[in-house]
Structure 1
Amino acid sequence: MFKRTKSPPKPTCLPAGDALPIWESLPLDAKLPMLPNPKGTVILCTTKLGEPKYKKNPELDFSLSDPYGLYLFHEYEPLNDPHLKSFFSSPPMRRHLIRQKFITPEGKVLCTLQEFNQYRMYLRQIWLLEMAQREREKQRQITDRKEITLGRSDFSAKESKRSIIRERIEQHMKTESERIKNAFNWKYQRLEHRLAHLKKQSAARYEKRREETKKRQLEIAKFHEELRMQQDVAKRELRRRERRKSRHIAELQKLRVKDDSVKVTEMWNLRKRLQCEQIQKEAKMLQRDEETRLRNIERRERMIALQRARLEAKLDKLKMQSREEQKKKEDLYAKRLAKRLASGDFRIWSRKK
Structure 2
Amino acid sequence: MSSPKSPTEYDDIGDIDITLMTLRKPTELKKVIDSVPKPVRSVPKNGLPMWYRLGLESKLPVPKMPLGKIIFARGKIGEDVRRVGLGGTGPQPTFDLTDPYCHNVSYDYVPMHDPHLAHHFAQKPARNRMKFLGFCTKDGRAVCSLKEFNQYRKYLYNQFMDRIHQEMKRLDERARDDLTLRRVEVDVARRLQVFIRAERTREHLERIAQEHADEWAEKKRQAKEQEKKIQARMKYLAEYNEKQRKERAARAYEKQNRIKQRVQAAAEMELRRKITMVRQWRANEKKRVNRLKQEKEAKQKRLETEANNKWMARVEAQNKKIQEESLLLKLYAEDMNAGAMRRAKKAEIYAYNTDLELQRIRLANWKLMHGGHAKAAQLVRKMGVEFEKSKRGAKGMSLELAHRMAAEAMTTALSTQGDALMTLGQARARMDIETILPPAPIKLLDEVLESVVMEFARRRVNLLLRDVERVVRHRAADVFFVDYRPRPKKSMKKHKRYSMQLATELARQYATVQGQAILFGDIVNIQSDETTDQIMKSVKDRPPTPVPSKTKLAEVTFIDRVEDLPDPVAVPSYLPERRKLLEMVNAAAKLLSRNVSQTVHKGMDVTIGKVTLPVMRHPMEWGEAVEGLASAVVNNRVNADCADIRRTGEFLANRILKSLQQEMKIEKEKKKHPKTSGDAESEPQSDFYVPDRANSPEKEESPKT
Q: Same fold (TM over 0.5)?
A: no
Q: Give the TM-score normalised by structure 1.
A: 0.40
Q: Give the TM-score normalised by structure 2.
A: 0.21
Q: If you compute each CA radius of gyration, which structure gives the higher value, 1 or 2?
A: 2
The structure whose RCO (Cα within 8 Å, separation 6+) is larger is 1
